[in-house]
Amino acid sequence: MNMAVNTGNYGAFMEEFVLPPSPTSSSPPLSSLTFAVKDIFDMEGYVTGFGNPDWLRTHSAATSTAPTVLAMLNAGAICVGRTVMDEMAYSINGENVHYGTPINPCAPDRVPGGSSSGSAVAVAAMLADFSLGTDTGGSVRVPASYCGIFGFRPSHGIVSTEGVIPMAQSFDTVGWFSRDPGTLNRVGKILLQLPDEKVVHPSQVLIADDCFKLLSIPSARVTKVISASIEKLYGGHILQPISLGDYVESEVPSLKHFMENKIENEEFSIKSLVALSTAMRLLQRFEFKNNHAEWVRTVKPKLGPGISQRVLEALNTTDEHIDVCVSVKTQLQEALSRLLEENGIMVIPTLPGPPPKLQTETTSLETFRARAFSLLSVAGVSGFCQVSIPLGKYEGLPVSVSLIAKHGSDGFLLNLVEAIYDTLKEQVEIAEKLSY
């Protein structure tokens, strides 16, 4: 079945349709909720488009539906369509030259974030109650932050990626979006196959002070909100500052292979996290090449600006230092597990600033992208779970914060977000009144 591009409804959908929930004799947990699906998930009878018309043209309809989509239908949710995404999942901006850029309901003159752009917009514009996306380098966390909604990247390997076009398997995850923490948690319980559990209090909450210095808005606008909320609910004794960059540099020795003596804009960079993002992107390029080089070289697809350059870089990647990248992943996961211990949480900015304006010059976008990846790579490389939480607006643009928990603590993190969000909203209102 060919897909018709939808120009209305914020441009979020590639194709709108209704897939009813699977028949069930009991009251399903997601009954009557609607959801949208990123055009990277297989759905029986439809061609998975991967954000590019040449991919759509050269592939056949899927013969089965991705287990994650089936899980939503079996839980009683109603699928309302497939959403626009960045080409080959290789961008965090959300602009697609072929199908258009979904309109960011939170900031219409700004990019929506990618690559799960349409999935985020569908939720932010209230066209669906929740949506499925994928997050390799940041493709759920970024559009969630830009569109002022919740976005969850699960622990790597916890949620099935079967029936999802791979981008880079060492980092690929299936994530999801919602407008409220309750829905985020309900969807998570299905995808993570979790029982109902009581909320466990965090044992410690580490505030990565050095990361908040990267923000282009006053850091207090975020740190005071989260700190006041935690103190009110659990006591200030569990709050601790940390220099994440220093810790990573001392505890991940393999990073020395990617450390540069001098980096651009050093005032707005953390050297060890820049090195971490370098290792992540190198391994990502290598795996993307293994997955898609043959198709790219055979079909020679038309790719948009930025995407074409990144695909070319991937195709020219060698296996040099790949073994070191794998060591970095292992060492970082071990180091952060020691740091957070049982039921610890780390607080970092989701991104260094608000969404860039539409059609921003490519070089400027790449500079911002590089800064963003130094933050995004923490969960990306460690494989830890991360949630982006909306915190209102600052000067009319969306603000967010991220919480990270260790691998496998997804249920704990989802429960915690639901438990603290009412208090967070109170503190956001105070912050907006006081203008800090």
Catalytic residues: 38, 115, 139
- Is residue 355 a contact partner of residue 400, using CB atoms and an 8 Å limit? no
**Cα(203)–Cα(350) distance, integer angstroms:** 22
Give the H/E segment covering residue 122: helix 117-124
Q: What is the DSSP string of 396-431?
A: TEEEEEEEEE-TT-HHHHHHHHHHHHHHHHHHHHHH
Which amino acid appears at position 285 of this protein? Answer: R
- Is residue 29 a contact partner of residue 190, using CB atoms and an 8 Å limit? yes
- Chain-centroid distance of CA 119 in Å reads 11
Residue with tokens 């004799």: 25
**Cα(78)–Cα(32) distance, integer angstroms:** 7
Q: For residue 85, give Cα distances in angstroms to 39, 109, 119, 340, 414.
A: 6, 18, 8, 34, 25
Cis link prior to 115 (omega < 30° from 0)?
yes
Q: What is the DSSP string of 50-70?
A: TT-HHHHHTSPPPSS--HHHH
* The Cα angle at residue 124 between residues 42 and 402, in degrees rounded to 5: 90
- Is residue 128 a contact partner of residue 87, using CB atoms and an 8 Å limit? no
Give φ, ψ of 325 to 5 degrees.
-60, -40
**Cα(363)–Cα(371) distance, integer angstroms:** 13
**Cα(300)–Cα(316) distance, integer angstroms:** 15
